[in-house]
């Protein structure tokens, strides 16, 4: 049985403990095949299934949230896990409900510490500026959102408000990146720095290895411009749009090559600011052009 988000709206708003109690109370019915409210939007029920399971079921065999915790390689208590998976759009619609922003703030610091110490040890001769560029690549929004999708498959577990859900929030790079940091923060709160460090390595060691191989680079917008010029292309342009509610605007950047017959899209990304969105879009666009350059070089040999 999936938790009915609709029952939390209007005058029936619950705090986070109320959500936990409701979900725990229906867990046994869920195991016997009970149905959700048929009038509830399918997307809302799908988005909340993972969180519903985590309240009581993440220690039970067959619970889908076990896969999330298994991918993290740790355990997180139900209240912290729910907080780490709750977007502010949900807490805005349901006052009294905690969202992941505090845990994200903490997790961002832990992630920066662990990635910094790893790069510092691996490159004793690099300057501070070079190390900073390596770290920026390793923990970029693009890199962390890929971790969220490919390693954690976290999208279905995120609690979103209805508006954010309708805008595809569970697949937005910015939100997925935040969730990864919040889960790291929750691990730190629950178990301390050693366990959090192990989780960070489990999640980003592959990315760190790639970064160590590639070496330091400029920020993604500058790197994209340099690469485009090296390939004889015009400087990429950025087309911007804004969506979402006023309290949580989402900026979308489209990195394009402008041609006479229209724009050629290279990369598209969302961010909580114009700069973040453009950097994330430039990151994706750089990889597209880099693959094109390598493919062209191979075909020319």
**pLDDT tens string 71-98:** 999 999 999 999 999 999 999 999 999 9
Does residue 235 share a domain with residue 206?
A: no
Supply the pLDDT for residue 5: 34
| Residue 108 is among the residues annotated as catalytic for this protein | yes
Does residue 130 share a domain with residue 16?
A: yes
For the chain, percent of residues with pLDDT exceeding 90: 47
Does residue 281 share a domain with residue 189?
A: no
Q: Which two tokens stand for residue 283?
A: 């990151």
Mean pLDDT score, 261-286: 91
Residue numbers of the domain that contains 204? 5-214
Supply the pLDDT for residue 23: 31
Distance (Å, whole) CA 58 – CA 99:
20
Q: Which of 214, 230, 253 is the last residue of a domain?
A: 214
CB-neighbour burial class of residue 62 (10 A; exposed 0-12, middle 13-18, buried 19+): exposed
More confident residue, 199 or 249: 199
Q: What is the pTM of this model?
A: 0.61
Supply the pLDDT for residue 300: 57
Supply the pLDDT for residue 12: 33
Supply the pLDDT for residue 51: 40
Supply the pLDDT for residue 299: 57
Does residue 190 share a domain with residue 86?
A: yes
Does residue 250 share a domain with residue 122?
A: no
Does residue 188 share a domain with residue 48?
A: yes
Mean pLDDT score, 286-299: 84
Does residue 261 share a domain with residue 144?
A: no
Q: Which of 161, 186, 214 is the last residue of a domain?
A: 214
Least confident of 78-82, 100-104, 170-174, 210-214: 210-214
Q: Could you tell me the CATH number of the domain that includes residue 199?
A: 1.10.1520.10
Does residue 224 share a domain with residue 137?
A: no
Does residue 263 share a domain with residue 244?
A: yes
Q: Could you tell me the CATH number of the domain that includes residue 250?
A: 3.30.160.20
Does residue 164 share a domain with residue 101?
A: yes
Q: pLDDT class for 211, splitting at 50, 70, 90? A: confident
| Residue 79 is among the residues annotated as catalytic for this protein | no
Mean pLDDT score, 100-105: 98
Supply the pLDDT for residue 24: 37
pLDDT at 18 over 60: no
Distance (Å, whole) CA 101 – CA 84:
8
Mean pLDDT score, 117-122: 93
Q: Which two tokens stand for residue 240?
A: 């911007």
Supply the pLDDT for residue 6: 33
pLDDT at 137 over 60: yes
Q: How far is CA 297 from CA 56, 234, 284, 300, in A?
A: 54, 20, 20, 5
Does residue 233 share a domain with residue 201?
A: no
Distance (Å, whole) CA 239 – CA 11:
41
Identify whether the C-beta of residue 6 lies closer than 8 Å to the C-beta of residue 44. yes
Catalytic residue among 93, 173, 178, 181: 181
Supply the pLDDT for residue 204: 94
How many domains does the chain divide into?
2
The 10 Å Cβ neighbour count of residue 42 is 10
pLDDT at 225 over 80: yes
Supply the pLDDT for residue 33: 32
Catalytic residue among 63, 93, 108, 141: 108
3-state helix, strand, coil in the chain (%, to 5): 65, 10, 25
Distance (Å, whole) CA 119 – CA 204:
12
Supply the pLDDT for residue 190: 97
Does residue 199 share a domain with residue 164?
A: yes
Q: Which of 182, 214, 246 is the last residue of a domain?
A: 214
Give me the sign of the Cα torsion angle 54, 59, 62, 68: positive
The per-residue pLDDT of the chain, averaged, comes to 78
Supply the pLDDT for residue 296: 79
Supply the pLDDT for residue 173: 85
């Amino acid at each position: 049985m999936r938790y009915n988000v609709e029952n939390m709206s209007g005058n029936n708003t619950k705090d986070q403990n109320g959500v936990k109690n409701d979900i725990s109370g229906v867990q046994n019915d869920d195991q016997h095949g009970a149905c959700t409210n048929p009038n509830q939007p399918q997307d809302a029920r799908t988005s909340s299934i993972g969180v519903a399971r985590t309240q009581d079921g993440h220690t039970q065999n067959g619970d889908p949230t076990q896969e999330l915790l298994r991918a993290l390689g740790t355990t997180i208590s139900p209240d912290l896990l729910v907080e780490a998976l709750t977007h502010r759009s949900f807490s805005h619609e349901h006052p009294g409900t905690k969202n992941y922003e505090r845990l994200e703030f903490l997790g961002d610091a832990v992630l920066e510490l662990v990635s910094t110490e790893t790069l510092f040890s691996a490159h004793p001769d690099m300057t501070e500026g070079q190390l900073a560029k390596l770290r920026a690549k390793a923990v970029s929004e693009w890199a962390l959102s890929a971790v969220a999708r490919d390693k954690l498959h976290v999208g279905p577990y995120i609690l979103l408000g209805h508006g954010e859900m309708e805008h595809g929030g569970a697949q937005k790079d910015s939100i997925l990146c935040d969730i990864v940091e919040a889960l790291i923060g929750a691990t730190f709160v629950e178990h301390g720095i050693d366990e959090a460090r192990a989780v960070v390595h489990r999640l980003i060691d592959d990315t760190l290895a790639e970064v160590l191989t590639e070496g330091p680079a400029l920020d993604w917008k500058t790197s994209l411009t340099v690469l485009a010029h090296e390939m004889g292309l015009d400087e990429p342009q950025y087309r911007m749009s804004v969506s979402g509610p006023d309290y949580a605007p989402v900026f979308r950047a489209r990195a394009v090559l402008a041609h006479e017959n229209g724009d050629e899209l290279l990369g598209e990304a969302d961010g909580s600011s114009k700069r973040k969105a453009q950097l994330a879009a430039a990151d994706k666009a750089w990889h597209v052009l880099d693959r094109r350059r390598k493919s062209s070089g191979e075909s020319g040999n």
